[in-house]
Every structure is written in structure tokens, then in C-alpha cells.
Amino acid sequence: MLTPRQKCLALLALCLTLFAPIPAHAAVAGPPAGQAAGPAAGPATGPAAAQAAGQAAGPAAAQAAAPAAGRNPVVFVHGYNADPGVWGSLREDLRADGYADSELFSFGYDTHQSVNEVLSGRLAAYVDDVRRQTGAARVDLVGHSFGSLVSRWYVKYGGGAATVDHWVSLAGPNHGTSTAWACALWDQACRDMTPGSYVVKNLASGDETPGAVKYATFWSDCDEVVNPDSSVPLAGALNTQVGCLKHNDLLGDDVTSAGVRAFLRS
């Protein structure tokens, strides 16, 4: 039997293992000069701050190419301890489908802050900037892991139901994950991800998929971070089980990418 000290050490090891920073896609350029590369960086000040994820430089470039008819700009929301570079593979696939860089935006933010008090509001401001730059009435949101909670709160409580067309969650702890207890003592975002947290309870109350937004989730039955795996699917969403993939492998999986792109076309 483990002693109390051994249990504490085990929890710390679990936290360091499961919530280690996700490496950026190798083909993606680094962040703009003066901006930190990791989650300790401050929140993005607007879509132009996300050029590190491969987007064309400058707001003027985004204004120059309006979204194709019937297609929305896509805003990616990365997960805990990550940065916009994790979207390299999916961005490449969308470009191959005909999206321009000026239609693809990556929201960068400090992942250690509160979903409801800080981050959803910053995402709302970012989406408003994207809409101003592109002239689009609505955007599509694609979130990974913790980013699913940030984007869901924006949709449900921050006015996003009027500005979001498609919402996608990859491996999102939508009903909480027990692994987040490993860092909940000192980290607000981890507390927000725990089962029964203020954020999780309020997102689950009433309608889990409100408004006219189209919702989709993609989940794995081998996810080592989201526990239980059944935390990801939402009532009223298109829920897709993608096989036995690790938590971060959904970001580069071809089958998952194809499913996301088909959903965005729906």
C-alpha cells in the first residue's frame, strides 16, 4: 500500500506526464517576435497575433481574401499546456481542401486561467476580430481538449450561439476528467476540468448543445487524459468514436481530420 507521501509523488508524476506541453507541428513557424512560445504567453490580442500558426501576415491579407461562398472562417482553440502550433496537420488538410490561410485562425491563450471568468471572453473578442477582418457573419470553432470547454462556454453563455455555425470538440473533457485532479490543487484550468466543477456543471445544465449551432465530438476509447472516455460525447451532437488513439494523436489522425472536414462542409 502506498504511503501518503508516495501517493502525492504519484499524483505529481501523473500530472507531469498527462499534462506535459504538446510539441508544435514541425512545419509551423514560431510565434511572433516578443511573444513566448508556450502557454505562459499572454492571450492573443487579435487574429494577427496568430500568424505563428501559418496564417498569412497582417490583417490586410485576411481582408484581401473573403471566405469562399458558403464557407466560414475556422478558428482553432488549442488545449491545456499547448499553443497554436498543434494545429499544423489539420491546417494543411484544410488548405488542401481549398481553404486559404486568410480563412484559418488560431486562438492563442494562457491555458492556466479560468474558463468562465477570463478565457471565454477573450475568445469572444478574438472571434469578433476574425469576423471584422473577413466580413463573415459566422465562424466555425474547432477545439482540442481543454479548448472544448473554453469554446463551449463562449457558445452557451458568451453570445457565441449567434456567431458560431459549426462547433467541433476533439478529445474534450466535456463532462470532466478525473486526471485533472492531479493538478487541480494549484491550477484553475485543472479545477475547471474536474468532474462536477462549476464549469462542467453549468455546461451540462439544460441543453448541452444550445442554439442553431451544429455540434460534433470526436473521441477515443484509449484516451489516457480524458477519464472516462465517455466524457467527450454530448447530447444533441454528432459523436464519432475514432478508434484506439492517444489523447494528442487525434490532432494528426487522418480519419479524424476527414471527419472534421466533412462535418464543416455539412
* Assigned domain for 206 exists: yes
CB atoms < 10 A from the CB of 209, how many? 18
Picking from 163, 141, 48, the residue whose alpha carbon sits closest to that of residue 102 is: 48
Q: Decide if 215 is inside a domain.
A: yes
Residue 34 inside a domain? The answer is: no
Looking at residue 68, its pLDDT comes to: 66
Q: What is the pLDDT of residue 180?
A: 98
- In angstroms, the CA 94 to CA 103 distance is 10
Among 83, 74, 73, smallest CA distance to 111 is for 83
- The range of the structural domain enclosing residue 107 comes to 40-60+67-264
Mean pLDDT by 10 residues, the chain (266 residues): 40 46 38 30 47 38 52 97 97 98 97 97 98 98 98 98 98 98 97 98 97 98 96 98 97 98 97
Angle between helices 146-157 and 120-134 (to 10 degrees): 70
Angle between helices 88-96 and 254-264 (to 10 degrees): 50
Does the residue 126 lie in any domain? yes
170 vs 13, 60, 89, 231, CA distance in Å? 25, 31, 14, 12
Tell me whether residue 153 is in a domain: yes
Q: Is 212 exposed, middle or buried (0-12, 13-18, 19+ CB in 10 A)?
A: exposed
Query: Which triple of cell numbers denotes residue 109?
Result: 491563450
Report the CATH number at residue 94: 3.40.50.1820
139 is a domain residue: yes
Q: Could you give phi then psi for residue 167, rounded to 5 degrees?
A: -125, 130
Instruction: Tell me whether residue 204 is in a domain.
Output: yes
Structural domain count of the chain: 1
DSSP class of residue 252 equals T
Is 19 part of a structural domain of the chain? no
